Copies of this chain bind each other. A is one copy, B any other.
Amino acid sequence: MDRSTRPVRLADVAKAAGVSHGTASNVFSHPEIVREEVRERVKATAEAMGYAGPDPKGRLLRAGKVNAIGVATNEPLSYFFDDPFARVMMASISQACDATGAGISLVSAANSEHLAWNIQSALVDGFIVFCIEGDSRLVELARERKLPFVALDLDSENQSVAAIGVDNIAGAGLAARHLAEFGHRRFAVLTLPCAEGGFGPITQAQAETSLYAGTRDRLRGYFAELSRFDIDVSKVPIYETVNDQESVWAGLDHFFASSETPTAILAMSDKMALHALDWMRQHDIAVPGDVSVVGFDGVPEGATSKPPLTTVAQPIAEMGRRAVKAILENEGTSSRQLMPVDLVVRASSGPAPTRS
């Protein structure tokens, strides 16, 4: 109907109803202090004029609090709904938000120029930053907003930013020890990204220079433990993936093309491990009969996969809860929290096959 005409403002309603804007405001925000007769008149006028209620844009400026927390990532937005780890984390974050009535704003952008703008103009009270691929630019941007923020899974060396992470070295150690104790001696490692972009086989030295400390620490954890079992880690093949099916399968093609095929696969995420299980099934390799696979994260899909996945479980729910708490309560925790991890033994790992 009344298109092209700009929306009705509270002041318009006030004028039409013959009261001051102060009183009109009270009708909506503190109805109990306005005399009933006036209240009804103003409400009726508002209704008649098609007033949409106090505009949050205006309210916001005065109130100062948005009542929403931002969750930011470098990945496309759909990462939050596609990636198993992100999904579980988001579910726990959203439960915590529900409990306090806070909303969630998803912030991201395909290209990094958009990213900057999106972070700078996000209407939120604080940020939870997903640093799965550890780009420090994202952290930098979020920090410049000078709002409370927490990084999840951040490079463990940047001690100055608030972060909630897990003990990657210890966790990786648990996985490696578990397999070594089963008698495995021929290992192969599927890593998370080390550098921008590509994937392919890399050397230990290359992995050590990884941009992402999470990747680096997990590798160190694996190798430290394997060394303890007198395994020559310099011979363990490492394949860098981008945490998707294509690169994982390429990695396995690579491992199993060599003459000394591995009997144990260490995967740095459950997502990779689950893709690996698919690959094994397609290639008629028995798990854990021929090859054992251990993941990392502890996503629920691992419990129902074929076979169920042995993995290093992060306390994802607890991490999400703490992140939200940190944003909502604090005004700038700068501490780092390292959460413990748990080895969850299921059916994807077993004794090493007797050498044939």
Chain A residues with a Cβ under 8 A of chain B: 3, 7, 50, 52-54, 56-61, 64, 66-68, 76-78, 80-82, 87-88, 90-92, 94-95, 97-99, 101, 103-110, 114, 117-118, 120-123, 144-147, 331-332
Contacts and interface: CB of A to CB of B under 8 A. Distances in A.
Given A53-B144, A58-B61, A78-B94, 7 more contacts: A52-B146, A60-B123, A76-B95, A76-B98, A81-B87, A98-B109, A103-B108
Nearest to A143: B52
Contact of A77 (B59, B64, B88, B94): B94
Given A122-B103, A331-B3, A61 B57 contact: yes
A103 B95 contact: no
A94 B120 contact: no
B77 A95 contact: yes
A88 B105 CA distance: 18
B105 A104 contact: yes
A124 to B, nearest CB: 9
A81 B76 contact: no
Contact of A105 (B54, B76, B105): B105
Contact of A123 (B66, B87, B104, B110): B66
B123 A123 contact: yes
A115 to B, nearest CB: 10
Nearest to A118: B103
Contact of A106 (B67, B94, B123): B94
A2 to B, nearest CB: 10
Contacts of A91: 78, 81-82
A78 B87 CA distance: 9
Nearest to A59: B121
A106 B109 contact: no
Nearest to A300: B82
A94 B108 CA distance: 10
Contacts of A76: 94-95, 98
A247 to B, nearest CB: 20
Given A122-B56, A146-B52, A104 B101 contact: no
A328 to B, nearest CB: 14
Contacts of A92: 78
A68 B77 CA distance: 13
A120 B59 CA distance: 11
Nearest to A50: B146
Contacts of A87: 81, 87
A22 to B, nearest CB: 19
Nearest to A58: B61
Contacts of A67: 121
6 contacts: A60-B61, A60-B123, A76-B94, A77-B98, A78-B98, A87-B87
A204 B208 CA distance: 66
Contacts of A82: 91
A313 B145 CA distance: 44
Contacts of A147: 52
Q: Closest 10 A-B residue pairs measured CB to CB?
A: A77-B94, A52-B146, A81-B91, A104-B106, A78-B91, A56-B121, A78-B94, A81-B90, A81-B87, A123-B123
A206 B76 CA distance: 45
A49 to B, nearest CB: 11
Nearest to A71: B106
A52 B88 CA distance: 32
